[in-house]
Structures are given as C-alpha cells and as structure tokens.
Chains A and B, each alone.
Chain A
Amino acid sequence: MAYKELWRRLLYLARRARFHSELSEEMQAHIECRADELEQGGMPRAAAMARARREFGSAARAAEDTRDAWRIRWIEDLASDLRYAGRALRRNPGFALTAIACLALGIGVNTTIFSITTSFLFSVPSCRDASSLVAIFLGGNSARPMTDYKFIRNTHVFQGMAGMNPEREVNWRNGDQSTRLYAGLVTDGYFSVLGVPFQLGRGIAPGEKDTAVLSHRMWRGRFGSDPSILGRTIVLDGRAHTVVGVLPGDNKTIVGLGFSPDIYVPAVREDDDVQLYARLPDGTSSAAARAQLQSVLQELDRIDPKDGWKRSANVRITGVTGMDLLAQQGMDPVLAFFGMLIIVVGLVLLIACTNVASLLLARAASRSQELAIRLSLGAGRMRIVRHLLAESLLLAALGAIAGLLIDVACGRLVSSLQLPLPVPIQLVVRLDWRLLLYTVVVAILSALIAGLMPALKAVRKDVNAGLKSGHRMTERRWGLRSLLVAGQLAASIVLLTTGFLFIHNLLRALSMNPGFDTQHAVWAYMRLVPEKYKDQGRQMALVTEALDRLRALPGVEAAAITRRVPLNDNCVIGADVSTDLSSTKMPLTYQCINVGPDYFRAIGIPLLRGRDFSARDRKGSERVAIVNETFARTVFGKRNPIGHTITDFISTRRVVGLVKDSKYFTLGERQQLAMYEPYFAQEEPVNLNFIVRGYGAPAAYVKPVTDALGRLDSSAAIETKPIIQSMGLALLPSQAGAAVLGAMGMLGLVLAAIGLYGVLLYSVARRTREIGLRIALGATPAEVLRVVCRQTFALVGAGTAVGLVLALLATRPLAMFLVPGLSTYDPGAFAAVIGVLGGVALLATLGPALRALRVDPMTALRYE
C-alpha cells in the first residue's frame, strides 16, 4: 500500500511538467463548463467567464496545493541540495579535486586490499552448490591412495566422491623442448561431482586415461586462446593426451587460496595420492556422514591393515569454503598478515576522511557568513546540516567512483601478477557485489565522518557573530581542525613506522647470510618422465653420467645432486633419537636432506670436520650421515660427533661429517637442526636437482648446463637458473610486507601533508589582517615566519608525540613477520620516520609561509 503510494508519487516526479500542464488544462475546462452553463442561463460569454473564474477562486493556489499533495518532500529537497552542492563544487574545483582525490585514494586502496583478501581467503570454489561439499581427512592425513578413494566411493556413504592431487608435475613435450607443468591429478568423477563450469568442452569422463583439461591461463598463454583446441593431442610425460576441456578464466579450485594448476590429468595408478572430497547427500549433516564414514573405515582397516596406523582413528570432515578453509593449520600468519593489511588501509582511509573533514571545515568556516544569513532568514538548522551533508555525500560518491576505478586498475594488475612461488598461485580479482557493497558502506561512512562534524560546527555558531562582516580572529588556537591534523599526523606516523619496519626487514633479509653461497651456483631442475625410469639403477646411471658431463663443462668448479634446494623445499622429520653414548631418547625435529658427493662444495657450505659423502655411500653400504653444528651440539654436546652413531626409530647411522649451520626453508627461521644423508641411500625420485658451481658469473652457465642435461634425455623438462633467483619464496613475505606497507606509509604521509598544508594555508589566510598589522607595525620577515612556523611545530610536535607512542604499541604484534634479530623497537625506523615527517612538514609550511611573507600591509589593513 505505502509502496504503491510512493510509486505513484515517483511516477509523478518523473512526469511533473506534463502533469502540471494537464492540471491547468483541467481547471480551465472546469471554468469553461461553468461558463457554458451560465451562458445557457442567458449571460453574455465574457461575463459568464468572469463569473466562473470568480467562483473558482485562485487557480494558481489550487495548482500549488495540488503540487504539494503530490510532492515527496525529502527527495526533492535532496535533489535540490545535491544540485546546489554540485554547483558549489564546480565553483571551487581545487577544493573538490583535492577532496575527491583524497577519498578516491583512501577508498581505492581499501577496496583493492579488500578484494585481494576476499579472493585469497574467502574464495568460493567454482562448483555447483559448494556448501554441500566437504573435504575428508582420514587418520589425520590430507591425501590417500586411489585404493582408499575407490573403497569409500563404492560404499555410497556420500552422494558423490572426488579426489584431487593439486601438487603434481608433468612434462609437456612442446616442439623440441620439454616444459614442466603444474598438474592437478584428478579422479574421473572430479569435474562432474563438483559440477565445475567449463569455458570449452567438458571434464574428464569416467574411465578415460588419456584426456586432459587445460586451465584458462595455459590455454591463453601457451595455445593463444585457440578456439579449436578441443581434440588436439598433447604429449604429457611421453604419453599422448587429448584435450577435452578448457576451464574459464575465473575458475577457482576447491583447494582455495588462489591455487590453480596449469593442467588436469586423470589419476590412473592405484598408488596415486589424492585429497578426498565428497558431496553430502541431501539432508545429511556432516556429523552423521562422519559417523557412517567411520564405520566404513573400520571395515577397511580390518580388510587392509596398515601396520598400526588406523584410517578410522582421526577422521575429519570439513567444509570447503569460508571459515572452514581458514581454520586449517598453518593459516594463522596469513590471517594475521591480512588482518594487519585491513587495519593499515583502514588507517589510510581515516586519514583521507579527516583530510576531507578539515577541508570541509575550512569551507564551512569561510562560508559562515552565508550560513549565518540563511539561519537568520529562518532556515532550519537541520535543513542546513542536511545541505552540508549532501555536499559531503556528493564528494564521497564521486570519491567512491574514482576509488573503484583505481581498484579495477589494481585488480587487473594483481590478476596478471605471477608470484615468485614454487606453487601455481593465481588470484582471480573481480569486481563483485560484496566489493560494491563494501565500497558503498565505506563511502557513506566516510561522508558521515567527514561531513557531520563540520556541518554541526557550522550551525552551532552564534548567528550574530557570523553576520558581522569580518573574519576576525575569533577561533581558539586549538580548533577542531588543528586536532584533526595532529591526529592525522599521529596516524601517519603509525603507518610510516610500520612501513619503515618492513623495509628495514626486507633490507635485512636481503643482506642476510643464508649460510650458503648464493652468488656462484646455478640450480638445474630436471624432471624425468617416471615411466622411462622404472628399472632399478637406470636413474643412478643417468645421474652419474649427468654429473660427469656437468663437471666437464669449462669453468665448472663443482657439480652435485640434491633432493632439496635450500629455501625452496621443506622436509622436517620428528623422531625420538638416541646415540651410542646415551640410550635416552631425545625427541628432535630436524631437516632431512639427501645430497650427493660434492654437494657442500657446490653450494658453498663449509665442511668443518670429517669427510664428504662419496660414491661408495649408497644403498647396501653402511648408513652414514653428516650433521650441522646445531644438530651436533644438541645431540652430542661439546663432543666431537664424528664416528658416533645416531639411532632413530628404524635405523642407525654413523656420523661421518660436520658442516656449518645454514638456512633451510625461510630466511627468517630460527636455526634448525639438520641431518644430511647420501643421495642414493633411499628410493630414486624422478625430480633431479643439480647444483653447479662455476668460477664466473652464474648466468653464463645457465645455457651450457641446460644443453648438457637436455642431450641426456630429450623427454625431461629442465629449468635452470642462478640460485639467487630461486629465493623468491624465502623473500616473499618481507618483499610483500615492505612493498605494501611502505606504499601505505607513503600514501598516509602524502595525505597528512596535504592536510597540514591545508590547515596552515587556511590559518594564514584568516590571519592576513593580523599579519598585515604586524608588518605595518614593523615586524621583520623572520618574525612573521616565526608566527607561521610556531603553528607547524605545535601541530607536528603534538602529532609526533602521540604517534610515536601509538606506533610503539601498534607494531609490537608485528614481531612475528620480522627476521630474527630485528626488534619492533627499531630506533632507526623511528628516527627515519621523524626525519621524513619533519621534512614533509617543512615543505607543507613553505607555501603558506611564503604567502604570509607576501602579505601587503596596505591591502590587508584597508578593511580595518
């Protein structure tokens, strides 16, 4: 009912002009009807018309009353307020542009960070009805072999089962070279059970062994978005696969976190490990499904026991979206990082808002006379507040639009960014309704924050004082504006300190000694096609041959093979360890790395005692190990560890060497224990990592090394790079932190500087007469400057003092992101912040100060 009424009124609003002409036509018809009647009674036409008009009364008033009846007061008022505000802004473009730019930057960085955060943390996988999908963990394990998958699938506890291993690699034979791709190994029901939408074609169908699905990135990047790609044969790991589908560009995998393999291939081997996903049947809760699954698994444990380890022991079923994904282990630092980002950009927005508020305050003050006149003519205070708010609302709307444009640009940038990570992460940043909602809320809030204070202040003023013609020095020294600017400076100090802290952190991380030589080695990664190396010993022969050829290259000092390249891969073992000196078991956590002979020379880790591994240390010979200093100290104390034995739960090894400590997974890690074992002591992996050390610059060795390895096996994928380039993962947190927080700090500083500049300029403008008087009475330029600078110093001093205290407190929790040895109490950073802020403050003072000096006493005093 009320809606219909509103609707009719809105229709009226849209067709106002026509409505009014119709109304006057109607009233004219009324009068003429009456005149007709009178004329029939014998009255002459002219007299009849006059009488009819008289009887009707005032047509204008009737029309006015009718209009009033139709009107929606507030909409028309709002429209007129907005029109007025728009005119006012156009008349004052400097003010409008500054305010809009401030808001756009504030809103732009907010929405950008928000959209990155949502796409990274809260992405909903591209699946049909993701809320009924669950991830299953058996016995605490994230991945299980295909046999387990098939068993559970055949029990029909769930409506559908799917399995996926997102961390596989395949070699793609591309012309005459092989390229390693990140592959997702999927079960045949994966795409249909999950209901993944496709750009082209379809998913992998049940029973298919040689089909493949391309990611959009791969399709675009490697096949030039070829529309006839379906049916094309590509060679993966030496076998021909037919492309049956292409995923759309906005596909988000069920793994989340922006994880996206290049290509999907079917899991064909029984021992392929996959993470299990399932769709809950309608109306079944995950608790009920878990109970059913548990009994199924007990059955499986009975049929196929795995010595001691029980699948049914630690069964977890979790959702695949939102908080369930975030509740996984190891997510805390990531969450903390994004939380910090949100706070930081919130601060930037706050600074932007205060900027706009102080700009509006200045405007309101310079318009106080106009407002006073309006008030004394009887304008309602609320009406004026509303009018001023409309102005800030208009600013916020324009700012939000500009901010969204900034955000779209940044989003494009982020989406095209390839992070230097050893996993395929691709963030899909798209404009979505959540972002729009967020922007609108942010814009309205900022309009209220920025507009309410000046508006209220403007109408609280005494009408009489405002009406007097002078802008006299009636304002207190510490007005609202000064407080705002001081607050802004304080907030930007917090931002800057954080930024500097992270920049310092990055510098420290870059110069940090990882314990091995990053300057002279190249890392050649060679992935073999597994099927070609099934026979025992074939691989060892290849590795031996490869090392011989690498060592024969001119300028090569050493070449070695290793299972893991430091700062790129992590293998932590937890075991109870005893020695030949003491049988008490020590629970230890240590890095375990299998390396070949000459590894320590090639990578530049000094061998302190004992011997290196030799070609004789292999399967079947005595088990030997080399330990690092921290391991030796922890296990053997001050004794020489060489010759002693270490026993973990299965085997005993004799320590033959001691090497210097180095970094293993991240630069910021605490010193870890490490044990090296001979490369061929265990099974033979298909991923080979060669470390080649040359006498010259490593870049020169990249091509010869690649060629030498390529000649050994043309089906192998080879990637060679100087080892310094492989430190992306280790440096990413510090780089990202430094880049983002440094940028935010600078942005905050610029915004605060604009605020300071504005407030000083405004105060100089208001004090023109006072300064003129001073000059007329003989003040020297130095004294005039002192007047202006005193205000700067007061503002900057107060802001800095408050900001430093806040910064000290606020940066405390950031310690978790910093490399060891760098404390959040970083005097260097604080000193730098104060220096920068002081410099900027001086710059901001320069303009107003010059203007004060140029004040002509005659002009200034003329009004007195």
Chain B
Amino acid sequence: MLILRTLAAGPLHGYAVARRIKQCSAQVLEVEEGSLYPALNRMLIKGWLKADWGTSETNRKARFYHLTDEGRKQLATEAGKFNRLVDAIQLVMKTV
C-alpha cells in the first residue's frame, strides 16, 4: 500500500520509492531495500504497476514505475480498508 501511495504522486524509480517512503514516514518506516523489488514485481504481475526505462535525475539509467488504473483502484480500496482499521483501533483505544 505504501508503495502504491508513493507512486500515486507520479512515476518513480526503485531507489526513489525507498527514499520517499523513508522521508515521508519521518525515518520511522524503513522498507527493507532488498524486499522492495520482489514487492514491485508482484505488483507488476497483478497489473497494478507498469515499468518503463528512463534516466534518473543523476543521469543513471533506471526503471520508472507508475500506477495503472487498476493500481489506483487497488490503492483506493486498500486505503479505505486501512482507514476503517485505524478508526476501529482508535475507537477501541478511546473506549477502554
């Protein structure tokens, strides 16, 4: 979900995805860099992402991932589920 959310803003290459997640979560969440690629590939298989070769800001050849329509849909449902979960947890935390 985090990857999908990160890519929702626009196409990024693998390293940028990892860096973005780290930055946005204020260094709390750190995606293990090695497991990033299997995760990206699983999403390629599902058809949520597409990948194209391009040049990074540091002039390196890199693969850029971007969301497909299906990926956007998936992000919406997962975000919805997650929000409900968080709401439920907060509810429990408040009542107890």
* Residue B11 at the chain A interface, CB threshold 8 Å: no
Within 8 Å CB of A18, what residues of B?
Answer: none
* Residue A32 at the chain B interface, CB threshold 8 Å: yes
* Residue A65 at the chain B interface, CB threshold 8 Å: yes
Q: How far is the CB of A14 from chain B (nearest CB, A)?
A: 15
* Residue A62 at the chain B interface, CB threshold 8 Å: yes
* Residue A58 at the chain B interface, CB threshold 8 Å: yes
Whether the Cβ atoms of B15 and A30 lie closer than 8 Å is: yes
* Residue A508 at the chain B interface, CB threshold 8 Å: no
Contact with B along A20-45 (1 / 0, CB 8 A): 00110111011011101000000000
Complex formed: what's the CA distance from A34 to B61 in Å?
14
Within 8 Å CB of B45, what residues of A?
Answer: 5, 8-9, 69-70
Within 8 Å CB of B33, what residues of A?
Answer: 30, 34, 55-57
When the two chains form the complex, which single residue of B38, B41, B46, B63 contacts A5, counting CB atoms closer than 8 Å? B46
When the two chains form the complex, which single residue of A26, A36, A70 contacts B63, counting CB atoms closer than 8 Å? A26
Whether the Cβ atoms of B61 and A29 lie closer than 8 Å is: yes
Complex formed: what's the CA distance from A29 to B61 in Å?
7
Whether the Cβ atoms of B60 and A66 lie closer than 8 Å is: no
Given A9-B45, A70-B41, A62-B34 contact (CB < 8 Å):
yes
Most buried by A among B35, B42, B45: B45
Given A66-B41, A69-B42, A58-B60 contact (CB < 8 Å):
no
Complex formed: what's the CA distance from A1 to B74 in Å?
13
Tell me the B18-47 residues at the A interface (CB within 8 Å): 18, 32-38, 41-42, 44-47
Tell me the A40-85 residues at the B interface (CB within 8 Å): 55-59, 61-63, 65-66, 68-70
Within 8 Å CB of A65, what residues of B?
Answer: 35, 37-38
* Residue A476 at the chain B interface, CB threshold 8 Å: no
* Residue A4 at the chain B interface, CB threshold 8 Å: yes
Within 8 Å CB of A70, what residues of B?
Answer: 41, 45
Within 8 Å CB of A36, what residues of B?
Answer: 58
Count contacts on B: residues with CB < 8 A to the other chain.
Answer: 24
Whether the Cβ atoms of A59 and B34 lie closer than 8 Å is: yes
* Residue B8 at the chain A interface, CB threshold 8 Å: no
Whether the Cβ atoms of A33 and B60 lie closer than 8 Å is: yes
CB nearest neighbor in B for A12: B45
Within 8 Å CB of B58, what residues of A?
Answer: 33, 36
Within 8 Å CB of B15, what residues of A?
Answer: 29-30, 33-34
Q: How far is the CB of A65 from chain B (nearest CB, A)?
A: 4
Whether the Cβ atoms of A26 and B34 lie closer than 8 Å is: no
Complex formed: what's the CA distance from A239 to B77 in Å?
85
Tell me the B47-84 residues at the A interface (CB within 8 Å): 47, 56, 58, 60-63
Complex formed: what's the CA distance from A25 to B15 in Å?
13
Within 8 Å CB of B18, what residues of A?
Answer: 30
Most buried by A among B18, B38, B61: B38
When the two chains form the complex, which single residue of A23, A29, A57 contacts B62, counting CB atoms closer than 8 Å? A29
CB nearest neighbor in A for B58: A36
In the complex, the 6 A-B pairs of residues with the closest C-beta atoms, listed nearest first: A57-B34, A65-B38, A33-B15, A62-B34, A30-B15, A66-B41
Given contacts A4-B47, A5-B47, A29-B63, 10 further A-B contacts (CB under 8 A): A8-B47, A9-B45, A26-B37, A29-B14, A29-B60, A33-B13, A36-B58, A62-B36, A62-B38, A66-B41
A residues contacting B by CB (< 8 A) are 1, 4-5, 8-9, 22-23, 25-27, 29-30, 32-34, 36, 55-59, 61-63, 65-66, 68-70
Chain A to chain B contacts (Cβ below 8 Å), 20 pairs: A5-B45, A5-B46, A8-B45, A22-B63, A23-B37, A25-B61, A26-B37, A26-B62, A26-B63, A27-B14, A29-B15, A29-B63, A32-B60, A33-B60, A55-B33, A56-B34, A57-B33, A65-B38, A69-B41, A69-B42
